[in-house]
């Protein structure tokens, strides 16, 4: 581990100060984007059996409907990153809200396969843009001592949205019948989309984005809303100093900056690697195909929908535990623990499919799925989104986050599309065994290259990445640090 000196700075002040009500309002409104992200990616698992029959989809069309949202999310991430730089973090989220609304209406009213795919792509644009923008917005708005927990509330909203989707799917299936109940499952998402659009009128822009654009009065005002007077004044001076340096060095575009500065390219590649290993956990094979996996294990459709709620419950519980641990344990050990647990969980899941088919085997498969979900949501999903929101330098932050999330969704799309084909070709045991090997490789990547970001302002992290190569990034937070 690196032992070089690290900055202390404002992160050690730990002054609660500011306006807790403002931080709560900020977090609740902005993370509606995460809720929509979770709901729209989770709802398809329960709607798919009904949708497939109603629209008469083939197996290839079924896979296309699932993966079309992910395809849209790939390019939505790039869109969100560009919009976050051009329009501000709040402006990007406003576009997301409009796309969520249009995509939800389109999917719930789709008369055929073609319209469904187009509407799912629009929804994917919203999901990808929100995935890139919400963590950035929260990271730039939060005091250093609260940044971890504030950003990871978005992950809680994502898994909360997935749980809500599973629960609403089961409720609608229990209360109603008919070929069109999948439409109601999808339509529910219109409510948080409207709430996000309206709520954004009550939030200010990111102080760091404002500073780079010379809007220093706005920067000072937002910091005073969310910090105590001394902490706000100190952080304002640091942000302004870094903004002037960044603007002075800026080559005028993110790609030119990346070509000009090797340290930016280095941290960009690490961020892309983190995005890949997060999706290589295979968590979305569980989220998207849990009912299908359980049905193949011998459980009926309605029972599979009810049992899938357990996936949502464990996801929410694991995320809450992960947010709690963030206040007490450093980032790196949590992520490393996660990959050990996920590799073991996939190995266990693969072995369960070797058992003779029975109802007991179905429950053992569910239990192994829950092990994977627990380790991903507690130690990896929460932490990787947080790290991505922290590590990129200000002048390329929106672009870099968009590019990393583009890679994340590309990996997600490939895995989600290929997963059922792999199961058909290799069988479930070898497929999940392959996931175990991939996650063992991810462990070594994180152990070697992942920096420790706890307890530093975004500006202090940028200085660390400027001054050291990846082998010498800080692996420990400042001494005596409190908070997340």
d(CA 41, CA 214): 38
DSSP label at 483?
A: -
Confidence of residue 185 (pLDDT cuts 50, 70, 90): very high
Confidence of residue 100 (pLDDT cuts 50, 70, 90): very high
- In the predicted model, what is the mean pLDDT of residues 30-36? 95
pLDDT at 163 over 60: yes
Q: How many CA atoms lie within 13 A of 49 on its CB side?
A: 20
Q: Give the per-residue pLDDT at 299.
A: 67
pLDDT at 35 over 80: yes
Q: Give the per-residue pLDDT at 289.
A: 64
Q: Give the per-residue pLDDT at 293.
A: 67
Q: Give the per-residue pLDDT at 321.
A: 94
Q: Give the per-residue pLDDT at 384.
A: 94
- Angle (nearest 5°) at CA 417 between 401 and 108: 80
Confidence of residue 365 (pLDDT cuts 50, 70, 90): confident
> Positive or negative CA dihedral for 172, 176, 177, 180?
negative
Q: Would you say 205 and 90 are in contact if contact means Cβ atoms under 8 Å apart?
A: yes
**Buried b / exposed e across 101-112, counting CB within 10 Å, b at 16+?**
bbbbbbbbebee
Q: Give the per-residue pLDDT at 15.
A: 42
Lowest mean pLDDT among 2-6, 289-293, 453-457: 2-6
d(CA 85, CA 426): 44
Confidence of residue 255 (pLDDT cuts 50, 70, 90): confident
Q: What is the residue whose two structure tokens read 């100190």?
A: 234
Stronger pLDDT, 437 or 170, i.e. the higher one: 437
Task: Quote the pTM value.
Answer: 0.81
Tokens of residue 134, six digits: 């919400």
Tokens of residue 343, six digits: 């590799």
Lowest mean pLDDT among 84-88, 96-100, 149-153, 471-475: 471-475
Q: Give the per-residue pLDDT at 9.
A: 41
pLDDT digits (tens, 9 = 90+) for 398-408: 899 999 999 99
pLDDT at 10 over 70: no
End-to-end CA distance of the chain: 21
Confidence of residue 427 (pLDDT cuts 50, 70, 90): confident
Q: Give the per-residue pLDDT at 297.
A: 62
d(CA 41, CA 170): 16
Q: Would you say 228 and 19 are in contact if contact means Cβ atoms under 8 Å apart?
A: no
Rounded alpha-carbon distances, angstroms, from residue 59 to 48, 56, 283, 475: 11, 10, 22, 47
- In the predicted model, what is the mean pLDDT of residues 7-30? 66
Q: Output the average pLDDT for the chain.
A: 87
pLDDT digits (tens, 9 = 90+) for 407-419: 998 888 788 778 8
DSSP label at 355?
A: S
- In the predicted model, what is the mean pLDDT of residues 448-467? 90
- The number of angstroms, rounded, from the C-alpha of 120 to the middle of its chain's C-alpha atoms is 19
d(CA 154, CA 134): 7
Stronger pLDDT, 49 or 211, i.e. the higher one: 211
d(CA 106, CA 125): 13
- In the predicted model, what is the mean pLDDT of residues 365-375? 90
- In the predicted model, what is the mean pLDDT of residues 66-73? 86
The CATH code of domain 18-203+250-472 reads: 1.20.1250.20
- In the predicted model, what is the mean pLDDT of residues 228-254? 85
pLDDT digits (tens, 9 = 90+) for 273-290: 999 999 999 887 776 566
Find which of 78-82, 155-159, 162-166, 295-299 is predicted with most confidence, using mean pLDDT: 78-82
Q: Give the per-residue pLDDT at 17.
A: 44
pLDDT at 375 over 60: yes
């Amino acid at each position: 581990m690196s032992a070089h000196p690290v900055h202390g700075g404002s992160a050690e002040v730990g002054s609660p100060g500011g306006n807790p009500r403002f931080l709560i309002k900020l977090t609740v409104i902005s993370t509606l984007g995460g809720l929509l992200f979770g709901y729209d990616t989770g709802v398809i698992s329960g709607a798919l059996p009904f949708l497939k029959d109603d629209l008469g989809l083939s197996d290839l069309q079924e896979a296309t409907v699932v993966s079309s949202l992910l395809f849209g999310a790939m390019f939505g991430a790039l869109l969100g990153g560009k919009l976050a730089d051009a329009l501000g973090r709040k402006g990007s989220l406003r576009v997301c809200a409009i796309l969520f609304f249009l995509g939800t209406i389109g999917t719930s009213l789709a008369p055929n396969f073609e319209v469904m795919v187009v509407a799912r792509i629009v929804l994917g644009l919203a999901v990808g843009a929100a995935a890139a923008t919400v963590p950035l917005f929260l990271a730039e708005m939060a005091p250093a001592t609260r940044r971890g927990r504030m950003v990871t509330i978005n992950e809680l909203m994502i898994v909360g949205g997935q749980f809500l989707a599973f629960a609403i799917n089961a409720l609608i299936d229990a209360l109603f019948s008919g070929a069109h109940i999948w439409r109601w499952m999808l339509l529910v998402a219109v409510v948080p989309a409207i709430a996000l659009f309206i709520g954004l009128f009550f939030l200010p822009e990111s102080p760091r984005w404002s500073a780079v654009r010379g809007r220093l009065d706005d920067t000072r005002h937002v910091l005073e809303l969310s910090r105590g007077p001394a902490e706000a004044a100190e952080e304002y001076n640091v942000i302004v100093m870094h903004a002037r340096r960044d603007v002075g060095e800026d080559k005028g575009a993110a790609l030119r900056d990346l070509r000009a500065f090797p340290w930016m390219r280095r941290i960009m590649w690490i961020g892309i690697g983190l995005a890949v290993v997060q999706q290589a956990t295979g968590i979305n094979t569980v989220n998207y195909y849990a009912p299908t996996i359980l049905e193949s294990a011998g459980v009926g459709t309605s029972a599979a929908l009810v049992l899938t709620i357990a996936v949502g419950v464990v996801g929410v519980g694991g995320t809450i535990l992960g947010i709690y641990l963030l206040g007490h344990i450093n980032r790196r050990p949590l992520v490393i623990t996660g990959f050990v647990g996920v590799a073991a969980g996939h190995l266990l899941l693969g072995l369960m499919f070797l058992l003779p088919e029975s109802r007991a085997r179905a429950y053992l498969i569910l239990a192994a799925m829950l092990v994977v979900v627990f380790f991903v949501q507690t130690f990896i999903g929460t932490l990787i989104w947080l790290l991505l929101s922290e590590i990129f330098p200000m002048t390329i932050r929106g672009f870099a986050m968009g590019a990393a999330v583009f890679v994340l969704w590309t990996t997600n799309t490939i895995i989600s599309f290929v997963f059922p084909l792999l199961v058909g070709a290799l069988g479930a045991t070898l497929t999940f065994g392959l996931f175990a090997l991939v996650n063992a490789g991810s462990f070594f990547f994180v152990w070697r290259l992942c920096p420790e970001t706890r307890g530093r302002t975004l500006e202090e992290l940028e200085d660390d990445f400027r001054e050291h190569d990846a082998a010498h990034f800080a692996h420990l937070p400042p001494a005596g640090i409190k908070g997340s």
